Copies of this chain bind each other. A is one copy, B any other.
Amino acid sequence: MRTGIATVCLSGTLKEKMRACATAGFDGIEIFEQDLVTSALAPEEIRTIAGDLGLTLDLYQPFRDFDSVPENLLAANLRRAAAKFRLMSRLGMDTILACTNVGTASIDSDDLRMEQLGRLAELAGDHGVKVAYEALAWGKYVNDYEHAHRLVEAVNHPNLGTCLDSFHILSRNWDTAPIAAMTPEKIFFVQVADAPKLAMDVLSWSRHYRVFPGEGQFDLATFMGHVVRAGYSGPVSLEIFNDVFRQADVGRTAMDGMRSLIWLEEQTAKQLQDADTPADGGTGAGRRRYPMELATLPQVAQPAGYNFAEVRAADTAGLEKVLDQLGFEFNGRHRTKNVQLWTMGHARVIISQAVPGPAAAPAAGSGPAIAALGFDVDSPAIAAARAQQLKAPAVPRKSQANEEVFQGFAAPDSTEIFLCQGNPDGTAAWTHEFGEGLELTATAGSAVIDHVNLAQPWQHFDEAVLFYTSALALQPQPFAEVPSPTGLVRSQVMLTADRSVRLVLNLAPLAQQDGDGSRKTYQEHIAFAVQDLVATARAARDRGLEFLQIPANYYEDLDARFGLDPTFLATLQDLNLLYDRDADGEFLHFYTATVGNVFFEMVERRGSYDGYGAPNAPVRHAVQYSHRQSDPRA
């Protein structure tokens, strides 16, 4: 699949954008007119730079408001087109996007449009230019891709074709199946964009909320499947108008976009394979072949669970104390590294010593933070190869002979993600590298890591969703918004189908982040599931644990909502436990005080409860906020 991206997706100057696109590995780019008009580079220089970078210049765009106009305006539009065609010649470009008229259309006649598009195609032909006609979702008279394509077919000129843009098609819920029947020679260009499903006017939705494929809710694999079936084999190019991407680091955004196309290519291949496999379940010998070649990635199953979580701190004493009070067992130090292992059942927490200095771990200077997560996967080598092909940046982890080598890479928020070989019984082989000579009592119970909650910088939230979707095969759930005393916290759950991995991405209020979002400034946490939360809490209290103190008002409200048994309610209040109930089951949980940027949660799931106690989250935020104000009663 030939990959492309429109320069409007990215921040910076045209040259900065082109360099970032080349570095990210795109085959070509679309030149967004404003990026050229505002550039100090002459068209010939742009052409040379693209050549030097190995980028093709695939599409000049947009040419607006051409058709459905009176003759005097058409003459001006043709003159404007001729100027752009001459410019394209200097750029060495041959395809221009003409979108359906929004602003100046005044005559609703397909016959007139055919005539006018014919004249445009004729003029384009004189300049060796191809015009790709695109139906904008909010075009005044033409807003349906099939309508636009009918006009293209009726004009029947070699220099006029269709441009398909997934946003304009899927935002209007147009059926995509007819794409498969299009003549491939008449599809001049394909643009892809994803978006969250929002109930708002389609123009605002398009201009501000588009995201890269895999970051929204559109069914792009099906769309692309039809494009491939039609026989199209040209560029598949990203055109994403997104308020955040416009502000974010150009290199990061370009890489994010490239990852989205690699993932989409795989999803499209899968979609075709699934849909085109004969009903008799044949091995695919009879599967159709298409002009577009689709690469696939090493296939991985969803992770089977968390292998470990690692918390890093310059001073680890506070962490050690809390884990001990929670009932974790100290499993000793690593034989060669300055890290400790703490376990409770199959929940493993590594505490590592942050190395001060400019190249220190994230937030090393500001107290403990979650530094790494290990996931159990079928084959760490295959999973790592997949992540690498998805351009996940590898992180080195030093190891010595006879030690397990973890394959690792950096998530968008800089958390290190390691791929581990888990044992079916929930144990991990590498633990023998810890606590040599230490006499360990058997760690009782079946505690596991229930979920991990990571704070995301505002510029990289969408990128993180795609990262975990594509590299770890987690599935994003509908997001929630939780009120806190410093603003709404956007909370995005990522899951495996069997719930063995639950990862929550939290977008902290902007006022809690620094302007460029580069530092972890917001608390994160690790939650452990146990069988008997009340017993766990009692034991922790006996060991002196500092619980997050839940207000009495909360328990009164709980009683008003649920009408709980008075003894049970008293137990909850006595132990600072929070409670939730829904049709699936019940949820009990408590929080520790915060150490640096980290706190811990202990949970008990009863029945098939599948949530996270969302109604209680505002209580947690409010109490933590009060503690940060250093006067809990302020």
Question: Which A residues lie at the B interface, using CB under 8 A?
Answer: 11-13, 15-16, 33-34, 36-43, 76, 79-80, 83-84, 87, 198-201, 204, 243, 246-248, 458-459, 483, 485-488, 509-516, 549, 551-554, 556-557, 559-561, 563, 618-619, 621-623, 625-626, 629, 632-634
Contacts and interface: CB of A to CB of B under 8 A. Distances in A.
Nearest to A623: B38
Contacts of A37: 551, 553-554, 557, 618-619
Nearest to A207: B481
B11 A634 contact: no
Contacts of A512: 247, 515
Given A40-B623, A246-B487, A514-B515, 18 more contacts: A11-B485, A13-B485, A34-B483, A37-B551, A37-B619, A38-B618, A39-B622, A40-B549, A40-B632, A42-B553, A76-B563, A83-B556, A200-B201, A246-B483, A247-B486, A247-B510, A512-B515, A513-B515
| Chain A to chain B: the 5 pairs with minimum beta-carbon distance, closest first | A38-B622, A200-B200, A83-B560, A199-B201, A247-B487
A593 to B, nearest CB: 15
Given A34-B483, A633-B41, A509 B552 contact: no
Contact of A486 (B11, B42, B84): B11
Contacts of A199: 200-201, 204
A13 B488 contact: no
Contacts of A623: 38, 40
Contacts of A40: 549, 551, 623, 626, 632-633
Contact of A560 (B80, B514, B625): B80
A247 B515 CA distance: 14
| Copies assembled | 2
Nearest to A632: B40
A561 B34 CA distance: 13
A526 B13 CA distance: 26
A554 B41 CA distance: 11
A515 B510 CA distance: 7
A618 B634 CA distance: 47
A287 B629 CA distance: 53
A87 B247 CA distance: 48
Contacts of A39: 551, 553, 622
A597 to B, nearest CB: 16
Contacts of A622: 13, 38-39
Nearest to A633: B40
A553 B35 CA distance: 10
10 contacts: A13-B622, A37-B557, A40-B633, A80-B560, A87-B556, A87-B560, A200-B204, A246-B483, A246-B487, A510-B510
Contacts of A515: 510-515
